[in-house]
Amino acid sequence: MAIKLNAEIRKVAGKGAARAVRKNKNIPAVIYGEKKEAVSIELDGHAFEMLLGQPSLRTKLFEITTNGNKEDAMLMDIQYHPVSDKVVHVDFKRINVKEPVHVVVPVEVINIDSSKGIKLGGVLNFAVRKVALVGLVQDIPEKITIDLSDVTIGDTIHGTDLVLPNGVSLGLHQAELAFATIGGKMPEEADNKQAAAATTAAPAAAPAKK
C-alpha cells in the first residue's frame, strides 16, 4: 500500500526559498524523473518526520498529491542538518508502477543460536548485509531473511540461496555473492587432528637395557 503525502508546489526555488519553507517548519523537496520536468514541492514537516520511524522507507511506494495531481514516486535521498539533525531536503523519483524498479534492501540472519553449525562450535561470518533486487515496487520486501537453523559448519549462503518473493529477482552480480558462512572445524575433524598431533609429538620409547 502506498504512503500518501500531500504537498504544495513551490513557485520559487533556490536556497532562500528553501530557508523560508523550513522557517515555517515545513520541508523543501523535489520530484524528478520519468522524462518529466522536476517539480519543487513543500512537505508538511511534522507529517514527514513522523514517517521516519517506519522501516525501509526507500523500498516503499509514495503517492504524492499536489494541487489535485497525483504522482507515484520512491524516496531517493534525505538530507539532514549537520548540527540539529533535522530534515532539510528530500528527493523523490517518479516511477511507473507497472515497470520493475532496482532497489537495495537489508539482509537479516535469524535463528543464530539454534543453528547446527553454531551449536557445533562454528563461527558466523555475516559478510554481505545488503542485496540488490529487481521487481515491481509493490512486490519488493522490506528485507531479505536468511534462516541459519539448518546451516552447519562449512556451509555458505550465496545469492542464489536467498528466498525471494514471487516476481522479485536478484540484481546484477548478486547471485554468487557469499552473504553468510559458518566457519570452523567439525568436532570429529578437530579430534582427529588433535590425536594426530599428539602422536607426532609423543617421544619415542627408550631402548631396553641389557
* pLDDT interval class at 205 (50, 70, 90): low
The string over 95-108, giving b where at least 16 C-beta atoms fall within 10 Å of a residue's C-beta and e elsewhere, is: beeeebbebebebe
**87, three cell numbers:** 530534515
Rounded Cα–Cα distance for residues 70 and 156 (Å): 45
Give the DSSP letter string of 25-80: T-EEEEEEETTEEEEEEEE-HHHHHHHTTSS-GGGS-EEEEETTEEEEEEEEEEEE
More confident residue, 179 or 209: 179
CATH 2.170.120.20 range(s) for the chain read 101-188
State the Cα–Cα distance between residues 73 and 94, nearest whole angstrom: 4
Residue scoring higher pLDDT (57 or 188): 57
- Say whether domain 3-94 belongs to CATH 3.90.226.10: no
* Chain centroid, CA 64 distance in Å: 24
Band of residue 112 on the pLDDT scale cut at 50, 70, 90:
very high
Each residue's pLDDT tens digit, 125-182: 999 999 999 999 999 999 999 999 999 999 999 999 999 999 999 999 999 999 999 9
The residue behind cell 520559487 is 12
pLDDT at 208: 56
* Whole-number pLDDT of residue 206: 55
Q: Quote the pLDDT of residue 207.
A: 57
Check residue 19 and give its pLDDT.
Answer: 85
DSSP readout, 110-168? E--TT-HHHHTT-EEEE---EEEEEE-GGG--S-EEEE-TT--TT-EEEGGGS---TT-
Those residues with Cβ within 8 angstroms of residue 119's Cβ, 6 or more apart along the chain or in another chain = none
- Other residues' Cβ atoms within 10 Å of the Cβ of residue 155: 17
* Residue 122, pLDDT above cutoff 70: yes
Instruction: Please tell me the pTM assigned to this model.
Output: 0.79
Please list, residue by residue across 111-134, b when 16 or more beta carbons sit within 10 angstroms of its beta carbon and e when fewer do. ebeebebbeeebebeeeeeebbbb
Report the CATH number of the 101-188 domain. 2.170.120.20
Structure-model confidence comparison of residues 87 and 204, the more confident one: 87
In the chain, CATH 2.40.240.10 sits at: 3-94
Res 204: pLDDT? 54
**In Å, what is the CA distance from 131 to each residue of 149, 151, 162, 167, 175?**
21, 20, 10, 16, 10
Q: How does pLDDT run across 52-108, given as a tens digit for each residue?
A: 988 889 999 999 999 889 999 999 999 999 999 999 999 999 999 999 999 999 999
- Work out the pLDDT band at 209, boundaries 50, 70, 90: low
